[in-house]
Amino acid sequence: MNQLGADSAAERHSDLRCRRIQVAAESSRLADIRQFVESVGTEHGLDDNQIFDLKVAVSEACANAVEHSGVTKAPIELCAWFHPDKLVFEISDSGGFRLPRSEPGFQADSRGLGLPLMVALMDEVRIRKLPNAGTNVTLTLYLDR
């Protein structure tokens, strides 16, 4: 892809093309996030099943970010990195990663499905705590497997 620049052989992170969006930490914005994922996946030539899996995994990461954004409603930042052999979505927020709390009306063990789904659908899931108390989740889908 020419977007990688003239020196596309170099695989330094800074040479990679990425697309990013920032959305408010509200569950009503999850549809916008899925639209972004679909656009990125289509551009990268993924099939419908792969795009569905990415939508679910990215939504789960973002829903978790919404859940622990608390009253601050600090925005969520989403970056899609176009590697030659993989697609990496990076979701960053400014809250700490927490397992979803039980809410009235839900049985406790119906909750907390987000992380298992991410792990089941993606090839690699990493969760990092950021120095500023934020959380950074990277979801990787390897291509041509």
CB of 45 to another protein, least distance (A): 18
Site track for another protein across 33-62, x = CB under 8 A = -x-------------xx--xx-xx--xx--
Residue 133 binds another protein (CB under 8 A): no
Task: Select from 42, 72, 110, 142 the one that contacts another protein (CB under 8 A).
Answer: 110
* Closest by Cα among 10, 46, 51 to 34: 51
The answer to whether residue 106 forms part of the interface with another protein (CB under 8 A) is yes
Nearer to another protein by Cβ, of 16 and 121: the residue is: 121
Task: Answer yes or no whether residue 93 interacts with another protein by CB under 8 A.
Answer: no
Question: In the complex, what is the shortest distance from the CB of residue 4 to another protein, in angstroms, rounded to a whole number?
Answer: 31
Could you say whether residue 27 binds another protein (CB under 8 A)? yes
Q: Which residue is associated with the tokens 């400014």?
A: 94
DSSP the chain: -GGG-TTTT---GGGSEEEEEEE-S-GGGHHHHHHHHHHHHHHTT--HHHHHHHHHHHHHHHHHHHHTSGGG-PPEEEEEEE-SSEEEEEEEESS---PPPP-TTS-GGGS--HHHHHHHHSSEEEEEE-TTS-EEEEEEEES--
Binding site for another protein (CB under 8 A): 27-28, 30-31, 34, 48-49, 52-53, 55-56, 59-60, 63, 66, 105-107, 110-111, 113-114, 116-117, 120-121
